[in-house]
Structure 1
Amino acid sequence: MSSFREQLREQRWDDHRFYHHSLINQSLHLLSACTFLACYGLLFVDPAAAALIAWTVSMTSRQAGHFFFEPRGYDNVNGVTHRFKEEVKVGYNLVRKLVLTLFWAAAPLLLLAAPALFGLLEARPGVAGFLHNLGLIWLVLGCAALVFRMVQLFFIRDVMTGIVWATKILTDPFHDISLYWRAPARLMRGERLGHGFVAASR
């Protein structure tokens, strides 16, 4: 158990120090985390609605912070390049996130072409029915992405790494709130990078 806690602490610290320099990114993660927590509760009431909100608000805000606001140049604080960080990323690096985003964006098009998803879903009429089924597809996609990367880590790293990573992902909303609740106020004061970080050249 101590090894599990140590690895979880290490993965969380690496995630923070390597990938969350920007206070805009931190603020977007705060928004994402709060929304994810609401979605966790909504899962027990309306799973499809929870998935819709999670993907359209939580995931888009979260990934926008990484794609558009994080420095891509040399990380002077940690002494590593952006390329190095992408190579050692335990979870979804930017390339893997892009692939996942393409699957997410393709889901509505697939559902328009096959409203019953080849017999896997009940075709529902109207916009509400479409959104309900889309939410179910996105829910399965999110679960599949989590399980796929966890099992992949079993083979390319080890079982403990995969389990720790999955635990980290599921508990990130709680951890992000504790880390980044001050970020919006600091951003409004004109700060742009987190404490201890200096601007990296692009």
Structure 2
Amino acid sequence: MNAFLKELAIQRWDDHRYYHHSRINQSLHLVSAISFLVAYGLVFIDPAWAALLAWGVSMTTRQAGHFFFEPRGYDEVNQATDDYKEAIKVGYNIRRKIVLMGVWVSLPVLLWWQPSLFGLIEPAVGWEAYAHDVGMAWFFLGVTGLLFRVAQLAWQQSLAKGLVWMSKILTDPFHDIWLYHKAPWHLLRGEWIDPMHHVHAESDAPVAEVQPR
């Protein structure tokens, strides 16, 4: 259990220090985290509408922060190139995210073109039924994307690393609220980029004890 928690802390710390410099990105992650928690509750009521919220709001705000606002290029804070960070990314790096988001966008088009999914499901009648089918398709995409990456990590590195990553992804909404709840305040003060002063403390403190601002 100690090894699991240590690896979880390392993955969370690397994700924060490498991929969350922009205060806009951090603020969008806060919005994403809150809507994800609502989606978690909706799963027990209607998985389709939970997925519509998760993909339509949570994932779009989260990925918009990464694609449009997060600085790319050489990372002066961590003394690392963008190529290096993308290569060591445990979860979905930009290339993998583009593929995942491409599938996400294509599913509503596929269901519009083939409402029965080539005879696999009952064709939707009306907009509400169509939206429900899209939601269920996105729900299964989320589950598949999660399990697929776990399987990849198990094959390439270890099952333990894959399970830790899955635990991180599922608990990220809770962690992101704690981590980025002050981001909108910093943004309103005109601070567009997190100075990441806490990153420089990494050499002086264990990773699990370093507290982001």
Please name the residue that 1:2 is paired with. 2
| In structure 2, C-alpha distance between the alignment counterparts of 1:31 and 1:78, rounded to whole Å | 26
| In structure 2, C-alpha distance between the alignment counterparts of 1:119 and 1:13, rounded to whole Å | 46
Please name the residue that 2:208 is paired with. none
| In structure 2, C-alpha distance between the alignment counterparts of 1:144 and 1:64, rounded to whole Å | 22
Q: Which moved more, 1:117-126 or 1:82-91?
A: 117-126
Q: How many percent identity over aligned positions?
A: 56
Please name the residue that 1:157 is paired with. 157
Please name the residue that 2:41 is paired with. 41
Please name the residue that 2:118 is paired with. 118
Contact 2:17 2:196 in 1 (8 A): no
* Alpha-carbon distance, 1:194 to partner: 1.2
Please name the residue that 2:173 is paired with. 173
Contact 1:121 1:133 in 2 (8 A): no
C-alpha root-mean-square deviation of aligned residues, in Å? 0.8
Establish whether residue 85 from structure 1 lines up as the match of residue 93 from structure 2. no
Give 1:24's aligned amino acid.
I
Please name the residue that 2:67 is paired with. 67
Please name the residue that 2:25 is paired with. 25
Offset from partner CA, 1:93-132 (integer Å, 9 cap, x none): 0000000010001001110111111233222211101000
Establish whether residue 109 from structure 1 lines up as the match of residue 109 from structure 2. yes
Please name the residue that 1:76 is paired with. 76
| In structure 2, C-alpha distance between the alignment counterparts of 1:58 and 1:117, rounded to whole Å | 26
Q: Which moved more, 1:68-77 or 1:13-22?
A: 68-77
| In structure 2, C-alpha distance between the alignment counterparts of 1:170 and 1:113, rounded to whole Å | 32
* Alpha-carbon distance, 1:56 to partner: 0.7
Please name the residue that 2:142 is paired with. 142
Please name the residue that 2:209 is paired with. none
Q: Which moved more, 1:73-82 or 1:3-12?
A: 73-82
| In structure 2, C-alpha distance between the alignment counterparts of 1:26 and 1:32, rounded to whole Å | 10
* Alpha-carbon distance, 1:133 to partner: 0.3
Please name the residue that 2:207 is paired with. none
Offset from partner CA, 1:138-174 (integer Å, 9 cap, x none): 0000000000000110010101100000000000000
Contact 2:77 2:196 in 1 (8 A): yes
* Alpha-carbon distance, 1:59 to partner: 0.3
Q: May I ask how many residue pairs the two structures share in their alignment?
A: 197
Q: Which moved more, 1:120-129 or 1:104-113?
A: 120-129
Give 1:21's aligned amino acid.
H
| In structure 2, C-alpha distance between the alignment counterparts of 1:8 and 1:107, rounded to whole Å | 32
| In structure 2, C-alpha distance between the alignment counterparts of 1:172 and 1:41, rounded to whole Å | 15
| In structure 2, C-alpha distance between the alignment counterparts of 1:134 and 1:117, rounded to whole Å | 11
| In structure 1, C-alpha distance between the alignment counterparts of 2:120 and 2:29, rounded to whole Å | 34
